[in-house]
Amino acid sequence: MNVTSVDFTMDTLPVRQSSAVSIGRIKPELYKQKSVDSEDGAKEPVETCGKLSFALSYDYEEQALVVRILKALDLSAKDFTGTSDPYVKIYLLPERKKKFQTRVHRKTLNPMFDETFRFPVEYSELCNRKLHFSVYDFDRFMSHDMIGEVVVDNLFELSDLSREAVVWKDILAATTESVDLGEIMYSLCYLPTAGRMTLTVIKCRNLKAMDITGYSDPYVKVSLICDGRRLKKRKTTTKKNTLNPVYNEAIIFDIPPENVEQVSLSIMVMDYDRVGHNEVIGVCRAGPDAEGLGRNHWNEMLAYPRKPITHWHALCEWPGRASSFESQGSCPSPKPPQTP
């Protein structure tokens, strides 16, 4: 091919100009309309999982917000039987230390609660507070499933609260963001010859605020569990006014090699309260009977003895005392392996 034969004369310019003119005839508003339509189509409808009825009023004499949880309708089924065991937790945000909880109603998707709770709060502060209802499905042996939630941002949009006002709200399906309690980073290291396990609490991040200030006073409590009984417990120091505490504190447990498959760890991130009782921010577990990363972390520790293995773990809701480890005891002798 002879490259010099290509014609670069000025005769080609009118053609390029005509092309530019034809492109200019495209109407921009049509593209703009298409973009808006595509954005609207991308929005997914918010999933609802029932309705919650409650009544609000204000007690001027006691300076308290009175919340009466009436009932729920058409809740999502969480059990394989097609029902749930629902109950409701209620907070007056941003403070999370003061919370209430209804009774558990067994095997129903339409529970009748009719329970009244009082939040001490000045009337002038109500414009800065939010009501948060969390609907849970109770599980005796595992962590409770969150069915959904209701958040009331502006209380005065519903009523002036001078007299009781009944409200119906859709229960929105819980998202990972709404139930996020934060994460904890810790390392596990096992020395088989010494029969010693070291858990190093490194730090936490994005913890849920428990105080009205928007912060917490977190510390970590670690329990050694054997056959459902708590053998020993240790805890870190308390870090004040932070949601991202750094600890770098080692906790040591003596675990003989023959017992290492019979024990597990319960890690609880707590919020210290000088006046009331300490509140659980979130929990996680490590051991052969844990789920997901908790079991994998434990197995990785055993696979690489004498080496610290570090992971981030997401915190979960505390399942409650029905499955907590409050009883004391000693670890039984190792169980003989079962013959196949």
Q: How far apart are CA 88 and CA 102, in angstroms?
A: 5
The answer to whether the beta carbons of residues 170 and 150 sit under 8 Å apart is yes
Query: Which domains are seen in the chain, by residue range?
Result: 48-173 (2.60.40.150), 182-315 (2.60.40.150)
Peptide linkage before 94 cis (omega within 30 of 0): yes
Residue 192: helix, strand or coil by DSSP? coil
Mean pLDDT of 225-241: 91
The answer to whether the beta carbons of residues 163 and 54 sit under 8 Å apart is no
Q: pLDDT of 84-128, one tens digit each?
A: 888 998 988 777 667 788 998 988 999 999 999 999 988 888 888
Tokens representing residue 297 in the block = 């972390």
Helix (H) or strand (E) holding 71: strand 64-73
pLDDT at res. 26: 45
Amino acid found at 77: A
pLDDT at res. 7: 42
Q: pLDDT of 129-180, one tens digit each?
A: 888 898 888 876 555 677 888 888 888 877 778 888 898 999 988 754 455 6
Q: pLDDT of 31-75, one tens digit each?
A: 444 333 334 444 456 678 889 999 999 999 889 999 999 999 988
Length of the chain: 340
Q: Taken in order 174, 178, 181, 187, is the CA torsion positive or negative?
A: positive
pLDDT at res. 124: 85
Q: How far apart are CA 214 and CA 97, in angstroms?
A: 11
Confidence of residue 331 (pLDDT cuts 50, 70, 90): very low
Amino acid found at 227: D
Check pLDDT > 60 for residue 27. Answer: no
Q: How far apart are CA 238 and CA 210, in angstroms?
A: 14
Question: Where is average pLDDT lowest: 1-10, 93-102, 277-286?
Answer: 1-10
> pTM here?
0.52
Residue 336: helix, strand or coil by DSSP? coil
Check pLDDT > 90 for residue 302. Answer: yes
Q: How far apart are CA 233 and CA 266, in angstroms?
A: 9
pLDDT at res. 222: 96
Give the E-state strand segments of 175-321 in sequence order: 183-191, 196-205, 218-226, 229-235, 246-254, 263-271, 279-286, 309-314
